[in-house]
């Protein structure tokens, strides 16, 4: 079968600062934040009252009314993004009904809105008033199942749940499945609809989110000395992966080629912080080796950096260890300064941003970078997008519990 190459041919995204790849990308390069006051529920009693909500999203544009009612918000985002990606890749509905395709979607929390809604019914009314669809709709795999139904798909359907890395891990798993020759095409990415009272409350208890509610668009400030924690958000990112000959034979537009993917866990406790970035070091070294690339081959790093005091510093330390002196020359930015942290969809959104950066030769900025941190002293593309040729990108993703994932994508040159 030879060495199989895997390319990306379709992009779909539902993000706090833009629905659809063009709106999302336009917001990123213009430094527009999607973070604002929470409107999905009354958060006035919470210490944190801001989030990256998906605004002006009408699920009925992608699903029938009955399906919208009985499924979770995260599934709505997944279906919308998958339909966008399939349309972008010019794949006909039903054409993937074979054993050579798969769906791989990550979700960290599943249908929390359904779970919480049904719990209220149980507590305030009766078990007899609960929805028969609730037990299925809040399962993490319901998003992937709904995508398969809406796309009239018959094939492998896999759900990945590895915390915040699971969206990138789902894409990485699809990449490895195509590379091994098991399939030729994959619909892959991540989705979460986690702006709910229970999710926000539990994250408030961890202390990892910022409580600066006064100016929401300025709260997420990765690498900045005055960063005070991340911002919870929601959304989905889905891409189409294809074996290169499969894509070329149908004259598909190719956004870029995935050269490598690596994942590992570096922790001794579910709640431990990897303060020295050893997990990031291991995964970045592995993915560069797998991609047959040297540190100075990299044009841009799309960082995990969620505006966390510890994790932003740890990622900076790791980049310095892996890249040496070149760490001070390679541009790095965090789109979470504009999107917040959408959990499972963070990695896929970073991949989509990286592919658009290669296509348009411009790197998105890290906005709200105003006060330099002596321990975070690299080039974070502060505040304004930068025009520059982007040929090879490293994408980093990290999750609570010590999961780390990295991916390398390269501009397609034929």
**pLDDT of the residue at 279:** 86
User: CB–CB of 316/278 below 8 Å?
Assistant: no
Under 8 Å between Cβ of 375 and 283: no
Q: Which pLDDT score is estimated for 270? A: 54
Look up residue 307 and give its DSSP letter.
Answer: S
Q: What is the pLDDT of residues 193-227, one digit of tens each?
A: 999 999 999 999 999 999 999 999 999 999 999 99
Give yes or no for a contact between 202 and 322, defined as CB atoms under 8 angstroms apart.
no
Higher pLDDT pick, 286 / 98: 286
User: For residue 231, what pLDDT is reported?
Assistant: 98
Q: For residue 341, what are the β-bridge partners? A: 232
Q: Where are the alpha helices (DSSP H) in 324-407?
A: 336-339, 346-360
At 311-324, the pLDDT tens digits run 999 999 999 999 99
Residue 190 near residue 103 (C-beta atoms within 8 A): no
Q: 367: buried, middle or exposed (CB in 10 Å: 19+, 13-18, 0-12)?
A: buried
List residues bridging with 263 in a β-sheet: 405
**E strand or H helix at 19, and its extent?**
strand 18-19
Class of domain 6-249: alpha beta
pLDDT of residue 135: 75
Gap between the Cα atoms of 192 and 11, Å rounded: 17
Give me the helices (H) in 253-374, please. 278-290, 309-323, 336-339, 346-360
Residue 93 pLDDT: 73
Query: Is the pLDDT score of 413 beyond 90?
Result: no
Q: Which residues contact 226 (CB under 8 A, 6 or more apart)?
A: 370, 371
Domain boundaries 261-410, CATH class: alpha beta
Over the stretch 84-119, which tens digit does the pLDDT of each residue have? 999 999 998 777 877 799 999 999 999 998 888 888
Averaged over 260-278, what is the pLDDT? Answer: 73
- 336-383 pLDDT, tens digit each: 999 999 999 999 999 999 999 999 999 999 999 999 999 999 999 999
Whether 6-249 shares its CATH topology with 261-410 is answered: yes
Average pLDDT, the chain: 94
Smallest Cα–Cα separation from 16: which of 347, 367, 345?
Answer: 345
Mean predicted confidence (pLDDT) in 271-299: 89
The domains of the chain are located at 6-249, 261-410
207 C-beta neighbours (distance < 10 Å), count = 9
* Residue 271 pLDDT exceeds 60: no
Q: Provide mean pLDDT across the span 144-167.
A: 93
pLDDT at residue 262 tops 60: yes
> Whole-model pTM above 0.85?
yes
């Amino acid at each position: 079968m030879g060495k199989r190459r895997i390319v990306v041919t379709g992009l779909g995204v539902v993000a706090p600062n833009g629905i659809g790849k063009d709106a999302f990308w336009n917001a990123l390069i213009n430094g527009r934040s999607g973070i604002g006051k929470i409107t999905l529920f009354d958060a006035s009693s919470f210490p944190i009252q801001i989030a990256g909500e998906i605004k002006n999203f009408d699920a009925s544009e992608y699903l029938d009314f009955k399906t919208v009612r009985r499924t979770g918000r995260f599934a709505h985002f997944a279906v919308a993004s998958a339909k966008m990606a399939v349309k972008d890749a010019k794949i006909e509905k039903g054409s993937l009904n074979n054993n050579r395709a798969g769906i791989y979607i990550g979700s960290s929390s599943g249908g929390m809105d359904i779970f919480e809604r049904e719990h209220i019914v149980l507590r305030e009314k009766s078990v007899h008033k609960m929805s028969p669809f609730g037990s299925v709709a809040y399962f993490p795999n319901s998003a992937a199942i709904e995508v398969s139904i809406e796309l009239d798909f018959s094939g492998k359907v896999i759900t990945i749940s590895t915390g915040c890395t699971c969206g990138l891990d789902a894409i990485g798993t699809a990449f490895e499945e195509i590379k091994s020759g098991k399939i030729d095409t994959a619909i892959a990415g991540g989705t979460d609809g986690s702006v709910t009272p229970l999710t926000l409350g539990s994250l408030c208890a961890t202390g990892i989110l910022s409580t600066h509610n006064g100016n929401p668009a300025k709260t997420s400030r990765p690498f900045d000395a005055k960063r005070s924690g991340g911002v919870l958000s929601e959304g989905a990112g889905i891409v189409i992966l294809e074996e290169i000959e499969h894509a070329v034979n149908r004259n598909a537009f190719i956004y870029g080629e995935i050269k490598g993917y690596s994942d590992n866990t570096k922790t001794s406790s579910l709640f431990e912080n990897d303060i020295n970035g050893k997990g990031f070091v291991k995964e970045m070294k592995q993915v560069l080796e797998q991609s047959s690339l040297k540190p100075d081959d990299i044009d841009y790093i799309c960082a995990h950096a969620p505006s966390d005091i510890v994790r932003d510093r740890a990622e900076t330390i790791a980049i310095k260890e892996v890249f040496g002196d070149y760490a001070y020359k390679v541009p790095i930015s965090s789109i979470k300064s504009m999107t917040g942290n959408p959990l499972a969809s963070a990695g896929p959104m970073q991949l989509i941003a990286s592919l658009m950066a290669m296509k348009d030769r411009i790197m998105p900025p890290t906005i709200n970078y105003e006060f330099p941190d002596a321990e975070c002293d690299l080039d974070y593309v502060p505040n304004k997008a930068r025009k520059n040729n982007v040929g090879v990108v490293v994408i980093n993703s990290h999750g609570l519990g010590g999961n780390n994932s990295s991916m390398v994508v390269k501009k397609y040159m034929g």
